[in-house]
Structure 1
Amino acid sequence: MEYIQKMIRPFTDRSNYYVSQPNSFKRKESKHTHDPQSVLLYIKQIFFTLQTQQNVNMSFLNPNYFSDIQSDLNPEMRAQMIDEVHKLCTAHKAQRRTFHQTIYLLDVYLSTNRIFTAQIDSIYKTCYFVASKYEEIYPSPLWRYTYDRDEMQEIFQIEKELLSLLDFKLVTASSYVWLNYYWTIINIAEKTSNWLTYSLLLLDVAVYNINIIKYEPSKIACASLYTSAIMLNIQMNWNSFASQFGLHFQHEIKEISNLIMITLKDSVNQKREIVKHMQLQKEKELF
């Protein structure tokens, strides 16, 4: 545990890949009236909208797609695709929201379409291509990460299939969106800003575990808060805290928290792309 904490302690949101992340919130609505999601008046409406959208998103996912559909793929290949997505996000300075949207689109496509190993590059590039066009103000053009004309045509074809599958409904209530929502209503003081940093990191790591996608994103977001609170030794009664702010209770997220910790340890041992990114930032002494 101490080794893992030393690995992630230098990580902050000032890296190229994680841009424009929200600062910790305080109970002063006048400072955030320009942002509808930060106005407490709309909290209930936002919650019900996210809950509805979450149910829609999960209807497109099949947590058992490796055993049901993807006979030529395995979870390690999926993890390698996520590594490549991370590289794209880093190279193009994409938002964290784009990263999580890309992983969701990847799982949706793999849940319904059998693919072969030769298609792996085209699949994850297509998912990033669609996510960046939806989330980014200035999405990276396709020619920046593929130079083959045949691959471009294949990406355009996969894009059509993916959008038709989703009926062009690209709104996603991801765990990242839920974490931002929870952080808004909690209104944490400045001294606990590391809590958000750790929680965001755990969300990024959690996507590597295929078993995570069977859980609701709202529970994954709560589990990241719960796990990071333990790692930071934040003293609290979680159930009382959850009851106060409308989070999931401990018995609902305990299993997810254990999965996140297992995935974090595996990511460090296997030197996943996100871990390499953290080490690079430490070497540059940017923090």
Structure 2
Amino acid sequence: MATRRVIPQQVRGDDPVAAEAKNRRALGDIGNIASLLPGVEAGKVNRPLTRNFRAQLLENANKKQINVAKKPEAVQKKARAVAKPPQTHEVIVISPDTNEVAKAKHDAASSKKKVTYTSVLNARSKAAAASKTLDIDSADRDNDLAAVEYVEDMYSFYKEVENESKAQMYMQTQTEINEKMRSILVDWLVDVHVKFDLSPETLYLTINIIDRFLSLKTIPRRELQLLGVSALLIASKYEEIWPPQVNDLVYVTDNTYQSKQILMMEKTILGCLEWYLTVPTQYVFLARFIKASVPSVPDPEMENMVHFLAELGLMHYDALKFRPSMLAASAVYTARCCLNKTPVWTETLEFHTGYSEHELMECSKLLAFLHSRVGESKLRAVFKKYSKAERCAVALVSPAKSVLSSTPAP
């Protein structure tokens, strides 16, 4: 029986898609062989399988090893000569002396040892104990603002430069003002300083600016108060967080001067002093010397007495001949005499102030004399300030008779 062949519909001749597929040419007939590399025959592209390729790599490696083994003997001898280790020479080691070894180890340990904050304080405490002086900074070890690590160097520097910022005696060059006028000006400034509730640093810097300016330039009498109020403005801007306004200073002068005049004098002062305002005033030394006087327990009466005597010194023109550090040390010495502190002058005070009791006697005698006359003087701003209970009424304490009766040091 004849077998009937059924042709699927998709390959029948009457289907155009099937006819086109049937007429497609083979891969080698469509011209893509032209893109092969030269020397490669068409249809014979050699793409080895992974296993064959690995076997070929192994075979190439074996051939390289065989070639290395068959190198000429001369080349091998040369390679052995290069690889031959150098000859060793016998070295004789001489052992150093035991003391030298110990010293070398000690020096190495010392060089590696770092200078720390604690070691500096301990060394200072030992030095103070050896010289029978108290370590006044021991309580401030944890206070960063006290700058305990640098405070001695700072005050050594202050003493070196205090003469540079110290005003010279100038009354012989001033034609219209005298010592009494200066005292009246300072007394008025102390009163203004209290009314504005300014810091002590401002008062001392104000007087320093006035005296330095007068030692460089002559001014008429009518401008003396203008100089004082302008110096107070400069010092307030330098020391205070909230300095007084210019209009406030015009008011305290009872409108004697206008704002423009104060600002012009401020400019004149700064130009004359070349803007040199960072100076070690008497107050800088007072803060340190009071601490040396009462290193353990605070003594408000002692502190107020020292400031009272120091401000009396500010009012007196003759005090300008003394250095700020000596004035501060003399105020501490005179205050201790007034309050009957024993001993009057300790090794700790002499160490930190740098002055002996003999060296302070002349300046202390001047301060004690001013103290004895303060109740009779018409200039009473300092006396009223320190007669109040909040300042321990130290102005009412009797002056140091032991200092007044002593002979000044030669």
**Whole-Å separation in 1 of the counterparts to 2:310 and 2:202:** 13
Q: Does 1:164 align with 2:271?
A: yes
**Whole-Å separation in 2 of the counterparts to 1:239 and 1:283:** 28
Q: Using the TM superposition, name which of 107-116 and 203-212 deviates more.
A: 107-116
Which residue is 1:114 aligned to?
218
Aligned partner of 1:97 among 201, 209, 227: 201
Alignment of 1:87-236 (within 5 A): 87-147=191-251, 148=255, 151-185=258-292, 188-190=295-297, 192-236=299-343
Q: Using the TM superposition, name which of 260-269 and 123-132 deviates more.
A: 260-269
| Residues matched between the structures, number | 255
Mapped contact 1:26–1:189 kept (Cα < 8 A): no
Mapped contact 2:290–2:332 kept (Cα < 8 A): no
Shift in CA distance, 136/251, structure 1 to aligned 2, threshold 3 Å: same
Which residue is 1:49 aligned to?
157
Mapped contact 1:102–1:128 kept (Cα < 8 A): yes
Q: Does 1:39 align with 2:147?
A: yes
1:54 positional shift: 0.9
Q: Secondary structure at the match of 2:354?
A: coil
1:160 positional shift: 1.6
Amino acid at match of 2:139: K
Which residue is 1:81 aligned to?
185
Which residue is 2:384 aligned to?
276
Which residue is 2:138 aligned to?
27
Which residue is 2:123 aligned to?
none
Which residue is 1:247 aligned to?
354
Mapped contact 1:126–1:158 kept (Cα < 8 A): yes
Mapped contact 2:301–2:391 kept (Cα < 8 A): no
Alignment of 1:53-64 (within 5 A): 53-58=161-166, 61-63=167-169
**Whole-Å separation in 1 of the counterparts to 2:296 and 2:137:** 6
Q: Which runs of 5+ in 2 are unaligned?
A: 1-135, 395-410
**Whole-Å separation in 2 of the counterparts to 1:150 and 1:237:** 48
Which residue is 1:14 aligned to?
none
Mapped contact 1:239–1:250 kept (Cα < 8 A): no
**Whole-Å separation in 1 of the counterparts to 2:165 and 2:264:** 22
**Whole-Å separation in 1 of the counterparts to 2:256 and 2:389:** 38
Q: Using the TM superposition, name which of 188-197 and 135-144 deviates more.
A: 188-197
1:166 positional shift: 1.8
1:26 positional shift: 6.9
* Length-normalised TM-score, structure 1: 0.80
1:191 positional shift: 5.9
Amino acid at match of 2:238: Y
Which residue is 1:19 aligned to?
none
Shift in CA distance, 285/241, structure 1 to aligned 2, threshold 3 Å: closer
Amino acid at match of 2:143: H
Mapped contact 1:206–1:264 kept (Cα < 8 A): no
Q: Using the TM superposition, name which of 95-104 and 38-47 deviates more.
A: 38-47
**Whole-Å separation in 2 of the counterparts to 1:205 and 1:123:** 21
**Whole-Å separation in 2 of the counterparts to 1:149 and 1:79:** 20
Mapped contact 1:198–1:228 kept (Cα < 8 A): yes
Amino acid at match of 1:103: I
Aligned partner of 1:66 among 171, 195, 198: 171
**Whole-Å separation in 2 of the counterparts to 1:262 and 1:285:** 21
Amino acid at match of 1:262: F
1:193 positional shift: 4.0
**Whole-Å separation in 2 of the counterparts to 1:103 and 1:175:** 10
Q: Secondary structure at the match of 1:114?
A: coil
Which residue is 1:12 aligned to?
none
Mapped contact 1:85–1:124 kept (Cα < 8 A): yes
Mapped contact 1:267–1:275 kept (Cα < 8 A): yes
Counting helix residues as a fraction of each chain, which structure ranks higher?
1
Identity %: 20
**Whole-Å separation in 1 of the counterparts to 2:256 and 2:345:** 53
Q: Which runs of 5+ in 1 are unaligned?
A: 1-24
**Whole-Å separation in 2 of the counterparts to 1:75 and 1:181:** 30
